Amino acid sequence: MLRVLFVYTALALGANTAMADVPAAQAVQAGDMRKLAFEEAKPLPAADLLTLEDEVQALPAGQWTVLNFWATWCPPCRKEMPSLDRLQAARPDLAVVTVATGRNPVPKIRQFFAEQSVTHVTALRDPDQTLARKVGVIGLPVTLILNPEGQIVGRLTGDAEWDSPDALAVLDALSR
């Protein structure tokens, strides 16, 4: 009996802390965040993402990340982008990374960001859709929530107001 208690205690102490926060996040889901589907933590597949200057850049590590797949030609993507930028400005403890997937000419990305005054998010590109395919992006926008270990723990398909009180409540619950 003592051995069983020890095993359960060890499992509890060694449990993935990111997944332990999912029930709290689910409890506060409202508004657009009801579209956020949580899943068992799984590693983000490897893929090279490019900056707007064509340099390979790794995703941030060690912090919660909101990873948004979008395209310049996608109206819902364009609609939600300013809220992602406001989220990053309001929550520097998070990494908000946008990934223009597929054919998105850099001048068009820059033009859109300038027109919308998007200045706080990290802007990356997945021109061959390598990462998008590996994570099952079949429509846009898609936003993945990554825990500090770089694992996918949530997915929201469609646009959302990422700086809304509903979104902030979910992100706060996850990051506790």
Give pLDDT tens digits for 47-94.
Answer: 999 999 999 999 999 999 999 999 999 999 999 999 999 999 999 999
Check whether 41 has a pLDDT greater than 50.
yes
Q: How many domains does the chain have?
A: 1
Question: In whole angstroms, how far apart are CA 142 and each of 59, 69, 132, 135, 138?
Answer: 17, 5, 9, 10, 9
pLDDT at position 106 is 98
Residue 157 CA to residue 118 CA, distance in Å, equals: 21
Query: Is residue 132 in a domain?
Result: yes
- The residue ranges of DSSP E strands in 56-150, in sequence order, are 56-57, 65-70, 95-101, 122-126, 142-146
Give the DSSP letter string of 28-60.
T--GGGGGEEEEEEEEPPP--EE-TTS-EEPPP
Q: What is the pLDDT of residues 22-35, one digit of tens each?
A: 889 999 999 999 99
Query: Is residue 9 in a domain?
Result: no
- Give residue 21's Cα distance to chain centre: 16
Query: Is residue 98 in a domain?
Result: yes
- 3-class SS at 83? helix
Helix (H) or strand (E) segment spanning residue 9: helix 2-14
Average pLDDT over residues 10-21: 43
Provide the token pair at 7.
Answer: 């095993």
Query: Is residue 10 in a domain?
Result: no
Q: With bands split at pLDDT 50, 70 and 90, how would you rate the model's confidence at 38? A: very high
Average pLDDT over residues 103-111: 97
CA angle centred on 32, ends 27 and 36, rounded to 5°: 60
Query: Is residue 71 in a domain?
Result: yes
Query: Is residue 72 in a domain?
Result: yes
Q: Closest Cα partner for 96 from 124, 133, 126, 71?
A: 124
- Please tell me whether the overall predicted TM-score, pTM, comes out greater than 0.85 for this model: yes
Domain that holds residue 99: 17-174
CATH number of the domain at 80, please.
Answer: 3.40.30.10
Query: Is residue 140 in a domain?
Result: yes
Query: Is residue 147 in a domain?
Result: yes
pLDDT at position 120 is 98
